[in-house]
Amino acid sequence: MTDQREVLDCLTVVRGLWDYLDGEMSEQRLADVRAHLATCTGCREHVEFARGFVSLLGRAPLDEARVTALRLSVQRALRVERSAARD
């Protein structure tokens, strides 16, 4: 059987992170993202952080530490994006 799944790179996964968390993604793409996350620690950290952040939003007001952590995560994501764009 041929594996039709698209192999995603980190840039694509990070860009689609919020869609992934919102479930606004086709089943096929969801499976592709999950497959990538299964093998990529860096992207998994992004997802876990973002997921934690989303659940915090529903619960508690943001304190400074959380805002700082979010900013660092975003900066890291942007760095991934920029270095990928340079290739």
**Residues between 11 and 70 that touch Zn ion (CB under 5 A):** 40, 43
Give, in order, the Cα–Cα distances in Å from 5 to each of 28, 46, 73: 8, 22, 28
Stretch that binds Zn ion, among 9-17, 21-29, 48-56, 66-74 (CB under 5 A): 9-17
Stretch that binds Zn ion, among 4-12, 26-34, 56-64, 65-73 (CB under 5 A): 4-12
Contacts of 51 (CB under 8 A, 6+ apart): 21
Q: Which is nearer to Zn ion, 2 or 39 (CB)?
A: 39
Q: Which is nearer to Zn ion, 11 or 56 (CB)?
A: 11
Cα separation of 60 and 67, whole Å? 12
Q: Which is nearer to Zn ion, 10 or 30 (CB)?
A: 10
What length does the chain have?
Answer: 87
The structure tokens 């995560």 sit at: 73
Contact residues: Zn ion, CB under 5 A: 10, 40, 43
